[in-house]
Structure 1
């Protein structure tokens, strides 16, 4: 067994690798960027070393820096995790050159399968069907546009390198092709250092089914059955499960054999995944599936395979890298039960899944039967804008698919996350969706059902607002909060005070100015008549009133997470952030009449398409902000003339910062 391992990654997967390594007695070495100096994986490792600034291209993508740390720390091996350098052949070569074991396939295998165009050509020669499309080397926009026309819309533009939905765009009509191509190439260059793309026919009613393969250095290759990853958003997997619903033994044998032969063809070693797209209009059929790509690394969704096979895939990676043969043959492997994984992201489904950042004021997961949680953060940690917004993976196992989904839905309902907005309520809605439960879904299921799944703007939660206001009222009776309230509002909390408009009859009232999810809300404190204890105080909002009851707060404390300026109320996975309004904190610089285009989150301004004096239409694309490894286009909120461009391409921008302002005709 290897004596030590450097994990060339971060977050959840780094924590996952460290746990298995420590169980095997392997010394763990972490590398981290400045943004991750206090991260959980850094705290978990036996030792940790800084490698650069927050942007991945200056830290986690720096091969020389990582190899240098490995040599200085005496690392016997490097585990690349997934993403970053995990599928870079030059990284595997650098490890070999320096006498460090790379826990992954040989560089030649990565090159053969790491580029989608080469991989498709390779497996096609082996008789594996591939999706119709252009997989050649020519990259001129005019040529690719012509190929898209010949293939027939809709088409899919895909980055030649990498995965995870980066550099991938569906195009439904020719008029949108150029912008989609430009965006896909730019995102591919940023994520993988390679802007090349291929163009394929978009399969209607597609099911995304992948086969987990494993190979050792002695010529043994097996498959560990399939995973269904069809529930996707923006080509990013959201929920994965194993085995695939509707999979027949015949189909499994054919797909599994194709995957094994593909791995053999490139002399594969270690864990890998062969991804297929299946035309699901008439169920999974042996004559309607196509090779998409091979991921020459461990997959994010590997826990569902572990759950149905009883294997630890990271342990197998260590053992294979140490030269040990696989401890089983294909006939020894069986499927037991069903497993489903949900990816818990820091994103806001009500705002088109916009990534969210900030401090995790609360983070709790249930310790329930059949539930596993792989997390890379703890309460008090920060979700930064520099990396993937995943908070955790919640995995449920059951004897049947329904039992696994029931357990996952229950676990998500009990999960507490406060701070960045999350998709926890959306995930639970997916688990409960009737069509998904019935196995009637494909990769377009989420986009077709956004309204039903709650992934659209929702009305403010009035009950959460009242409860949050009442929770703040409780704090106002503590000295610190009372002083803050008086300083902010000039109010005195005595019902007999005269400086707020003394009255002789009726309930005494004091104004309670609040900020709810960034919006000003006026509330009123109603004092009892005659005056009594604080527990008799009522808070009235515009749509009603609610009484503060101390017993309720004590009985259900998980519904509240205190922040540095207020409280977050949790209701069925939704968050409502409430704070006292502070007039001294108003950002006068960024006040406007709605004619400004602001940064939706912290990130990098990678493209600006307009200049002062340009006339634009409502919805026209003005700029692009890159954050959390994804591009986010900014569009004109209304028609008008560009007045100012307030930031330059390449600049780091803060959430809410004005980037472009428009002149609007009165």
Structure 2
């Protein structure tokens, strides 16, 4: 069909992975690209890949990617004629969409009126109920019979402004805290309560509609595996749905789109209870993070279709059929050993060692490798506290669900990820878990199986430390191997600490007879080079790839990777941490304090709240005691290790505490 508009230069009002994803399609279509960037993102991959880039002065999202006026000016200055919002930030702002249109630019998204209709979850539910779509209604005044309830932000998602409340006494405080968080994230402090279904399933339908009356339901996805209400693993199609339920879901999603005159790509999200009944949750009036699994099944390029619809093209009557199964895993920079707190630092390497494609493919066609990587970072990128902690999405397609899970788990396990701690190991274990493979999915899955997904180390760190020590010896040796002597000598000693806090002390000798490792007497050294060590144990050889950046050492095997910190042989006895000291676990901003010096506190009691990577993080008392010091103040910027507070046991007086300083 002939387009009524032709896009020549597209500005993406976003950053990271989604900006790169849109730019990839633009390059294929011959459309020029313009990026915007904050100061921390000045050298980010999405900036380097664009044809032009415009600076948004500042670092915080409120000063940069959430400034619609600045972004419109950037588009006009760069000569762009269209704006794609990506997801997050201003992607669901009706005001921003209208500002783009008022500036004479093409808006690659739904009409502002459609965005506004779905902008408030409470108003959207009322509208959908009137249209005959089943909804899980908001609770005006929750009672004991309604517990537990879920507090949600009316104007946004992604886990911000969400709280599960089990006691009515806690509800007022959680409503207030959720409102504050929602206002900072979405510009609205409106929150509401709905019934919480701890074993419900989160299922959504991909929609695509044109301006000529055609609405596609492009299959469905299950997004039930979540942590803190943020999606972690998504797949398509949603497994185990009866055919009649799937058909009703798709019909309800199409009704939702037609009710508001929707145009473009969007997603209708539903919650399924244990009896298979579904309820409308919300409609995301934008492209979803998990859209690649739908692309892998159908062969569609959803971004290209967004652009075609924005240019006025008409969709065919029906979408293409789906085939096979696709699963996506979100790789986050977070520390499992510290309650999954977001992690920051330099990303030295992010590399899939299996055949894969970037931002495209992954499907079952002859050109597809079956594995796809969508990432907003590259080697050398700084993971900062200013933005979301997601590093990448890894997507696998296969003819069956079991084969897709196996392919994805293997790709993640073999990946080389050198930098901040990640959830890689948890993802691999979840994809291989019997309950996941059996399709027993619900939003509490990760919490229910937490002990199995993050088990204690079973000796892997010790062998990785031995390989690291031998690689270090190989790098240092000259004519003879390090530690080799004609006469008996003291063993070589090296110490390492894994990210979960496990410390390994490696004592070994390299003699004429071979390796003598005191902690691993049955391990034989086959070969050692600075970047590769081969060890044999019980007749089985294994290769360890070793990479070092300063005192950080990464040991990779086909079964997974281990990150280590090389420690001094003899710890400095003068270095210690004040007992009861609470240190900042990450860089961030102190939002508020909830106690004052001199208070008697109990273990687990919140003392202050930090904001980092778009989320709030509570710092709690480590034990019962007295809060003798509170150094944190609202608005204070802190770095990891900053002393925030000190809690002493009730038996210790403030005078004794000061004498210990």
1:15 shift after superposition: 0.7
Residues 235, 293 of structure 2: 8 Å contact kept: yes
Residues 464, 544 of structure 2: 8 Å contact kept: no
Is 1:34 the counterpart of 2:39? The answer is yes
Change beyond 3 A, Cα 1:30–1:151: farther
Residue in structure 2 matching 1:296, options 265, 285, 289 = 285
Is 1:563 the counterpart of 2:549? The answer is yes
Alignment partner, residue 212 of structure 1: 206
Q: CA RMSD in A?
A: 2.7
Alpha-carbon separation, structure 2, partners of 1:27 and 1:316? 17
Is 1:359 the counterpart of 2:353? The answer is no
What TM-score, normalized by structure 2, do the two folds share? 0.88
Change beyond 3 A, Cα 1:505–1:310: closer
Alpha-carbon separation, structure 1, partners of 2:406 and 2:500? 35
Say which is worse superposed, 32-41 or 449-458, in terms of deviation: 449-458
1:203 shift after superposition: 2.5
Alpha-carbon separation, structure 2, partners of 1:336 and 1:519? 44
Alpha-carbon separation, structure 2, partners of 1:410 and 1:611? 50
Alpha-carbon separation, structure 2, partners of 1:631 and 1:119? 26
Q: Output one character per residue of 1:242-298: Cα deviation in whole Å (capped at 9) or x when no partner.
A: 11112233222211111111111111110011101111x24x3xxx11110000000
1:574 shift after superposition: 4.6
Q: Output one character per residue of 1:610-652: Cα deviation in whole Å (capped at 9) or x when no partner.
A: 2221111111110111111111111111222222222211111
1:585 shift after superposition: 9.2
Alpha-carbon separation, structure 1, partners of 2:414 and 2:571? 38
Alpha-carbon separation, structure 1, partners of 2:226 and 2:70? 35
Q: Output one character per residue of 1:518-562: Cα deviation in whole Å (capped at 9) or x when no partner.
A: 969684655556xx7xx9575656x87967653472567763221
Alignment partner, residue 230 of structure 2: 236
Aligned partner of residue 473 in structure 1, secondary structure: helix
Change beyond 3 A, Cα 1:472–1:207: same
Alpha-carbon separation, structure 1, partners of 2:407 and 2:634? 47
Q: Output one character per residue of 1:334-362: Cα deviation in whole Å (capped at 9) or x when no partner.
A: 22111111111111234322211111222
Is 1:348 the counterpart of 2:335? The answer is yes
Alignment partner, residue 550 of structure 1: 527
Alignment partner, residue 508 of structure 1: 490
Residues 466, 546 of structure 1: 8 Å contact kept: no
Alignment partner, residue 150 of structure 2: 156
Alpha-carbon separation, structure 2, partners of 1:263 and 1:157? 26
Is 1:404 the counterpart of 2:393? The answer is no
Alpha-carbon separation, structure 2, partners of 1:602 and 1:458? 31
Is 1:595 the counterpart of 2:580? The answer is yes
Q: Output one character per residue of 1:302-359: Cα deviation in whole Å (capped at 9) or x when no partner.
A: 0111111211100000011111111x113x5322111111111111234322211111
Residues 347, 420 of structure 1: 8 Å contact kept: yes
1:473 shift after superposition: 2.6
Alignment partner, residue 488 of structure 1: none
Alignment partner, residue 484 of structure 1: none
Count of residues in correspondence between the two structures: 622
Residues 409, 428 of structure 1: 8 Å contact kept: yes
Output aligned runs, 1:575-654, within 5 Å: 575-581=562-568, 591-654=576-639
Alpha-carbon separation, structure 2, partners of 1:522 and 1:349? 19
Alignment partner, residue 88 of structure 1: 93
Unaligned runs of 5+ in 1: 135-143, 480-492, 497-503
1:104 shift after superposition: 0.6
Alpha-carbon separation, structure 1, partners of 2:458 and 2:594? 32
Is 1:45 the counterpart of 2:50? The answer is yes
Alignment partner, residue 415 of structure 2: 415
Say which is worse superposed, 656-665 or 315-324, in terms of deviation: 656-665
1:564 shift after superposition: 2.1
Alignment partner, residue 325 of structure 1: 314
Residues 603, 653 of structure 1: 8 Å contact kept: yes
Residues 566, 580 of structure 1: 8 Å contact kept: no
Alpha-carbon separation, structure 2, partners of 1:516 and 1:437? 30
1:586 shift after superposition: 9.5
Alignment partner, residue 385 of structure 2: 385
Output aligned runs, 1:41-120, within 5 Å: 41-120=46-125
Alpha-carbon separation, structure 2, partners of 1:320 and 1:613? 62
Alignment partner, residue 657 of structure 2: none
Alignment partner, residue 366 of structure 2: none
Residues 552, 563 of structure 2: 8 Å contact kept: no
Residues 119, 155 of structure 2: 8 Å contact kept: yes
Alignment partner, residue 247 of structure 1: 241
Alpha-carbon separation, structure 2, partners of 1:440 and 1:647? 44
Alpha-carbon separation, structure 2, partners of 1:36 and 1:558? 34
1:199 shift after superposition: 0.7
Residues 494, 505 of structure 2: 8 Å contact kept: yes
Residues 513, 520 of structure 1: 8 Å contact kept: no
Alpha-carbon separation, structure 1, partners of 2:305 and 2:147? 43
Residues 65, 89 of structure 2: 8 Å contact kept: yes
Change beyond 3 A, Cα 1:21–1:151: farther
Residues 350, 458 of structure 1: 8 Å contact kept: no
Alignment partner, residue 394 of structure 1: 394
Structure with greater proportional helix content: 1
Residue in structure 2 matching 1:657, options 632, 642, 654 = 642
Residues 555, 562 of structure 2: 8 Å contact kept: yes
Aligned partner of residue 224 in structure 1, secondary structure: strand
Alpha-carbon separation, structure 2, partners of 1:449 and 1:277? 21
1:437 shift after superposition: 1.2
Is 1:121 the counterpart of 2:144? The answer is no
Change beyond 3 A, Cα 1:528–1:126: closer
Aligned partner of residue 34 in structure 1, secondary structure: coil
1:99 shift after superposition: 0.7
Aligned partner of residue 113 in structure 2, secondary structure: helix
Unaligned runs of 5+ in 2: 1-5, 357-368, 535-541, 653-661
1:55 shift after superposition: 1.1
Residues 352, 456 of structure 1: 8 Å contact kept: no
